[in-house]
């Protein structure tokens, strides 16, 4: 969420640059300069000297020949202002800093070789290790950004960009950050647009006391693609007040609240976002889902597609949670083993309207497989729901009204709902569909549903459909 958690990053003090310059070409006159040819007792000093020597149009500073422990004690600024775009190439060095090591400007490229480590001194308590404000067309790749959490206590992110457009972050490892409302990778503030965060490993972000998201993006057109997120301590990925954002192909393990997309910033909208083909394993949240479409502030999020995701083995919390949203499509998602000992839903839709659920399956949930509450115009079609109510609360495959209020215009068609235990008295699902949850539901369509378990025509313990508190029911 927009809770910029702190990520202080502790690391060991590392040595300075080597005294003898390696055998490399002398600096060329023009746009490709070698850092070793410039004065300074540390790598950071040499980098700044080389950058200052570039022409006004910018160019390349090459430090790929520096290896082992290196230091930065004055922030290296890559082309901030004046149109001086700088590409910095780093080698297999471990760079430790007492200040924010790198600040990016327009067109900046910060490129490691895959073995480059950027970290901070113990006690430095930096808010981020790489930053930039009001920038465009930047690139960060090939680095390990290590927060040295064990040596720092202040809030901080690994990478924190502000009002950035068309930046590309890829092939990074961001790890071991303090957290405290500062995500591992974050696009803070308003004005972020069309950035891509892809093929990164984000792990060990924050702690249970100083929790933080793995990746946080705000603004339109951002893409979060094919990242691996391990042990972030709040949300794995947040897309806040996004329009046309895509969160696709990510693999999340051990993240409490998975992926969330919605409206959290007053006066900003969320619309036309896609959450597609992600795999989420594990999770533990008492109020959210492994995937959440939400409204906290601003207008309701509209036109959200949640498609082809795999959600499994959630300890506490819902598989998919939709709250305060409109025009949501949940298609072909596979949801299993959701909060088996807790009141957790496979899918929970509340305070929403114009929601369609189609295809996919929901298997083994603590309470209802799918719950609808205080919502209007919800259709559920061609979904297989099995073994709801594992916590022993007599929950059904589908339950209404889940908030004990009122829902209307509900269509439940072509569903296959049953408890897999073939012994009737041992089935934990009392009804396959249950409208008797304390509220009322009007304008109900039921048609083409199957309730057999493969052995018995009645796949639930007491009956197929409980229509208590349902009115204006059409069945076919």
Per-residue pLDDT tens over the stretch 206-254: 988 889 999 999 999 999 999 999 999 999 999 999 999 999 999 999 9
Cα–Cα dist 277/274, whole Å:
10
Greater confidence (289 vs 14) lies with: 289
pTM of the model: 0.92
456 vs 34: which has the higher pLDDT = 34
Chain mean position to CA 154:
23
The three-point CA angle 276-354-342 to 5° equals: 65
Give the bridge partners for 350, in sequence order. 323, 373
Q: From residue 187, how far is each of 33, 159, 340, 386 by CA, in Å?
A: 31, 8, 36, 40
Q: Which residues pair with 253 in a beta bridge?
A: 230, 281
The answer to whether residues 191 and 161 touch, using CB atoms and an 8 Å cutoff, is no
pLDDT band at 82 (very low <50, low <70, confident <90, very high): low
Which pLDDT value is given to residue 260?
A: 97
| Higher-scoring residue by pLDDT: 81, 425 | 425
What token pair was written down for 438?
A: 């304390």
| CATH architecture of the region 1-234 | 3 Solenoid (2.160)
How much is the pLDDT for 81? 67
Share of the chain above pLDDT 90, in %: 85
128-166 pLDDT, tens per residue?
999 999 999 999 999 999 999 999 999 999 999 999 999
Could you state, in order of their start, the residue ranges of all structural domains in the chain? Answer: 1-234, 339-476
Provide the mean pLDDT of the chain.
Answer: 92
Separation CA 413–CA 34 (nearest Å): 68
Maximum mean pLDDT: which of 137-146, 186-195, 262-271: 137-146
């Amino acid at each position: 969420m927009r809770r910029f958690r702190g990520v202080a990053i502790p690391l060991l003090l590392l040595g300075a640059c080597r005294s003898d310059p390696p055998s490399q070409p002398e600096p060329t006159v023009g746009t490709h300069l070698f850092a070793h040819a410039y004065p300074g007792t540390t790598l950071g000093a040499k980098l700044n000297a080389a950058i200052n020597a570039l022409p006004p149009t910018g160019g390349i500073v090459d430090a790929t020949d520096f290896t082992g422990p290196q230091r930065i004690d004055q922030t290296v600024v890559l082309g901030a202002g004046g149109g001086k775009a700088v590409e910095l190439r780093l080698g297999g060095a471990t760079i430790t800093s007492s200040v924010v090591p790198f600040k990016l400007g327009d067109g900046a490229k910060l490129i490691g070789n895959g073995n480059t480590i950027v970290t901070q001194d113990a006690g430095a308590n930096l808010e981020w290790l790489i930053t930039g404000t009001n920038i465009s067309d930047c690139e960060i790749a090939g680095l390990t950004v290590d927060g040295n959490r064990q040596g720092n206590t202040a809030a901080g992110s690994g990478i924190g960009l502000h009002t950035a457009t068309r930046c590309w972050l890829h092939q990074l490892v961001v790890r071991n950050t303090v957290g405290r409302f500062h995500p591992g990778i974050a696009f803070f503030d308003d004005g972020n647009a069309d950035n891509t965060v892809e093929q990164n490993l984000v792990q060990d972000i924050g702690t249970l006391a100083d929790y933080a998201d793995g990746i946080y993006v705000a603004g339109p057109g951002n893409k979060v693609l094919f990242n691996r997120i391990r042990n972030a301590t709040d949300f794995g990925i947040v897309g806040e007040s996004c329009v046309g954002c895509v969160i696709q192909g990510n693999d999340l393990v051990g993240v409490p609240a998975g992926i969330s997309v919605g409206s959290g910033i007053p006066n900003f909208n969320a619309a036309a976002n896609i959450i597609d083909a992600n795999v989420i394993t594990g999770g533990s949240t008492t109020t959210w889902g492994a995937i959440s479409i939400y409204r906290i502030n601003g207008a309701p999020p509209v036109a959200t597609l949640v498609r082809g995701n795999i959600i499994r083995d959630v300890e506490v919390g819902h598989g998919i949670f939709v709250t305060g949203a409109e025009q949501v499509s949940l298609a072909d998602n596979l949801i299993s083993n959701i909060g088996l000992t807790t009141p957790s839903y496979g899918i929970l839709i509340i305070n929403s309207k114009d929601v369609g659920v189609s295809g996919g399956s929901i298997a083994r949930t603590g309470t209802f497989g799918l719950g609808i509450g205080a919502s209007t115009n919800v259709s559920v079609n061609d979904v297989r729901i099995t073994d709801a109510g594992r916590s022993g609360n007599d929950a059904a495959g589908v339950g209404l009204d889940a908030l004990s209020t009122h829902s209307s215009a509900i269509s439940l068609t072509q569903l296959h709902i049953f408890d897999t235990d073939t012994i009737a008295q041992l089935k934990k699902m009392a009804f396959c569909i249950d409208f008797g949850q304390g509220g009322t539901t009007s304008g109900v369509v039921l048609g083409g549903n199957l309730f057999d378990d493969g052995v018995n025509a009645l796949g639930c313990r007491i009956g197929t459909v409980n229509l208590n508190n349902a009115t204006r029911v059409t069945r076919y």
